[in-house]
Amino acid sequence: MPILQPLPDRLLLGPGPSNAHPSVLEAMSRPLLGHLDPDFLALLDRLKEGLRTLFATRNEMTLPLSATGSAGMEAALVNLLEPGDDIVVGVNGVFGGRMAEVARRAGARVTTVEARWGTSLDPQAMTEAIARVRPRVVSFVHAETSTGVCQPVEEIAARAREQDALVVLDCVTSLAGRPVELDAWQVDAAYSGTQKCLSCPPGLSPVSFSERAIERVQARSRPVQSWYLDLSLLAGYFGGETRVYHHTAPITAIYGLAAGVDRALEEGLPARFRRHDEAARRLVDGLATLGFEPLVEAHERLPMLTSLRLPESVRRQSEANVRARLLTEHGIEVGAGLGPLAGEIWRVGLMGENARPEPVDRLLEALRKLLA
Q: Shortest Cβ distance from residue 16 to ligand PLP (Å)? A: 5
Q: Shortest Cβ distance from residue 204 to ligand PLP (Å)? A: 9
Q: Shortest Cβ distance from residue 177 to ligand PLP (Å)? A: 12
Q: Decide if residue 170 touches ligand PLP (CB under 6 A).
A: yes
Q: Which residue is nearest to ligand PLP (CB)?
A: 69
What whole-number distance in Å separates Cα of residue 339 and Cα of residue 170? 19
Closest to ligand PLP by CB, 150 or 326: 150
Closest to ligand PLP by CB, 170 or 188: 170
Select from 126-134, 154-162, 167-175, 350-358 the region that touches ligand PLP (CB under 6 A).
167-175
Of 185-214, which residues contact ligand PLP (CB under 6 A)?
193, 202
Of 88-107, which residues contact ligand PLP (CB under 6 A)?
95
Closest to ligand PLP by CB, 175 or 284: 175
**Residue from 79, 92, 139, 145 in contact with ligand PLP (CB under 6 A):** 145
User: 10 Å Cβ neighbour count for 137?
Assistant: 27
What whole-number distance in Å separates Cα of residue 110 and Cα of residue 308? 32
Q: Shortest Cβ distance from residue 36 to ligand PLP (Å)? A: 27
Q: Shortest Cβ distance from residue 71 to ligand PLP (Å)? A: 7
Q: Shortest Cβ distance from residue 369 to ligand PLP (Å)? A: 29
**Residue from 50, 64, 69, 123 in contact with ligand PLP (CB under 6 A):** 69
Q: Decide if residue 140 touches ligand PLP (CB under 6 A).
A: no
Closest to ligand PLP by CB, 65 or 81: 65
Closest to ligand PLP by CB, 141 or 360: 141
Q: Decide if residue 16 touches ligand PLP (CB under 6 A).
A: yes
Amino acid identity, position 345: I
Q: Shortest Cβ distance from residue 193 to ligand PLP (Å)? A: 4
Size of the site for ligand PLP (CB under 6 A): 15
* 44-54 residues labelled b (16+ CB within 10 A) or e (exposed): beebbebbbeb
Q: Shortest Cβ distance from residue 48 to ligand PLP (Å)? A: 20
Select from 52-60, 140-148, 258-266, 348-356 the region that touches ligand PLP (CB under 6 A).
140-148
Residues found near ligand PLP in the complex (CB under 6 A): 15-16, 68-70, 73, 95, 141, 143, 145, 170, 172-173, 193, 202
